Structure formats: structure tokens, C-alpha cells
Structure 1
């Protein structure tokens, strides 16, 4: 005697086909094949006729069939084939030599805006470009970006010193660019609330007119007569005053 599922598979018949030929529900056939219940005589005879065997050739209580063996999919097989030579090739590769440290890049030349700003500061200090280049031993165009930055900081300090002395001589409060101290806070707040028109003198010699619409530790926003707003960096401002104050 053999298990029902053994005979069915040997006859190349599916559970659905056996159910159709025998008249026994497919779910019940699966329970018989899994050994969950014994097969009654009536159903044994039906299965025997459908499978062309004798009823006594079928076990009344089947052993459960073994779980199906999963075959690798086409995609898995292809991936495995590709990875095998790649892993072998990687194992053969020799470690790459460490790259030599790169030489530091050459110093970058000064920006045109830096040179222009230097000339504006010289003009403000009433110094000639020839005098400065004689001290430096090179022209402004030959400066590196780092040298131009250092020179700009130096000239800005000189400009602040000169302008501070000038404003103190006129009994004006000196401009403090580093922070909004108590005096500056009160002064700018009063100008903003009153809407007084202000005149801002910049280090490059230009001037900006307008009303204070906002300010912070590093910048002042000025509303101009045409309705536009401009934000001035405090490091670019020499000093400022109301239009009513004498220049």
C-alpha cells in the first residue's frame, strides 16, 4: 500500500484534478494526504477508480508529504554567478598604494574687489597708492588674497582711528563697529522711532541717505526715499549722523 499523495503524483494528477474526477472536495483530499484524518471506504473506492488502482493499494491513513524543495529563482542564480567571479577577482587584487600627499596649492591672487576697496581706503586716508606700493615692495595687483586681507584690516583700523578723532573733535559719539552698545542702541532706536533721515559715510568715500528701519550687532538696514531698502555692513561704515546735524 502507498500513500494517496504518492500515487496521485505518480499519475501526474493535481489535487484539483483528483477532486474533479472523484467528486471529493479538494480541501478534504489535502487533509487525507497530510494524514489529518483516515480515508473512509467510500472515498477510497472513488480515489481508486480515479487513479486506476485497487482500493487496497491506498493507505487509509497517509504519511504527510515532505516539504517541497525551493529552487533558486533565475534572478538569484544570475546574481550568484555574477558575484562569484567578482569576489574571486577582489581577493586577487593587491592593495593600492597610498597616494602621496598633494602639494599645497599656490597662493591665490587678490580679488579685484579687494584691490578696489584698498584704493578706496587710501583715498579716504588721503594717501597715495605709490607710497603704499613703495612700502610693500610690490604693486596692489601683485598681492595675494591673504596679503590683501591683512592690508585691508590694517587700513580699516587706521581709518577708524582717523574718523574717531574727527568725530570726537566735533563732539560726536564715535562709531563702535564691534557691537551695539547701550549708547548706540538708544541712539539708533530713537532715530528709528522718530523717522529722522540719516546720512551714512562709508569707508570707500560714498554716502547713503535714508531712514533706519532695522539694525543689529553687525548691520543697519536703511529705507531710501524711492522705497527700496539697503543693508549696510557696519565694518563698511565710517560714521553716521542725522541730516540736521552739521557736517
Structure 2
């Protein structure tokens, strides 16, 4: 089995941490695109465009071309939204991990290292919405190293850190399309506590939901 070590972030990890995060988030573009296509407003729009052009042009070519262009445009919109999220995340904390996570006693950033190579990340800091809780953030594992228990070890690292500081719970936020992450959190004892649509006109139209999970450290509900 690959030897995995979890340690505190160092400045020389900056580029690889951003690479792992960026690659991990880009994996959700296809599932987000499919999520949008499954929504009734999207299906209604595509059907209306197809039927109206079919009725007016009396040809299959124009409506098929129009629907194809709409689908291509929708996918580009998803890519644009993820790029905006990535850019915001870099500005918010990933371009300055040391100041954001390592200067306070109630926050930290860790990396998982395999044979000297950083293959996973996780962080935590005080939650802005739920006072008295720490928020698990930036959990990501390089694709080729998944299935080895690294994600579980990173989750345990945050839980142990939170418990040692005397906080009663860990909270986290993930999206509706991140199904593998949801399974991991639920396996680790997290319970879904709230669902809310991400703010914004487009996200509301396509019902892009944000899920809140909570791990209660005051009861023995942790799973291994």
C-alpha cells in the first residue's frame, strides 16, 4: 500500500495545492451540465425552440442546429461559472494559504503526501454561519490516488483538530452534483442539515443546490 503522510501545509506546496483543487473542481463540469439538462425549465426551453423552429421552417435541420447551439452554449456557461468559482477561491484563500489558515489557532491547512508528492488537501477555519463550529474546506484528492482512504484520513484530521480545540461540531458545504463527496461525508458520520439554492438568477433557474453537512463531535457517531 502507498505510504501516506498528512502534514501541515508549507509555502512550497502552493502550486501543487492549486493544481489539485483546480483539477478536482473541473471534474464536476460534466455532471453540472447534465444536472442543468435534467431541469424542467431547460427541457421546456429546448422543446419550445425546437417546435417553434420546426413549425416555422418546415425543416429538421434548423431546429436541430439551434438546439445543438443551445446545448453548446449551456456547456460553455457551466465552464464559465466554474472558472468564476475557481478565480474567486484563489483570491479568497488559495493564493494566500499561510495568512488565511496558519496564523490563527482555530484554523489550519493540511496536505496528504505520498512518497514526497502532495496528493490531497484539506483545511478548516471557524464557520461564518454557525458560530462555535469549524468548517471543513478544500478537501480534494488527486484522481489516481482515490480509493486508498486518503479522503477519510483527511476528514479525520479535521475532526481530531476540531475536537482538540473543544469545538462541538464540524460543518461543511458541498454541491448537489458532488455525489462522491456526499457519500464520503455520510460514511464519516456527517448528517445533511440543510439545502439551499446557490444565490443567482441562473443557479435558481437550474435548481443548483448547496448542501450543508454537520458532524456532531459530542456524540460517538464517527465512522471509520
Q: State the TM bucket, normalised to the shorter chain.
A: under 0.3
Query: What is the TM-score normalised by the length of structure 1?
Result: 0.23
Instruction: Tell me which of the two structures has the higher relative contact order, counting C-alpha pairs closer than 8 angstroms and 6 or more residues apart.
Output: 2
Structure with the higher fraction of residues in strand conformation: 2
Q: Greater CA radius of gyration, 1 or 2?
A: 1
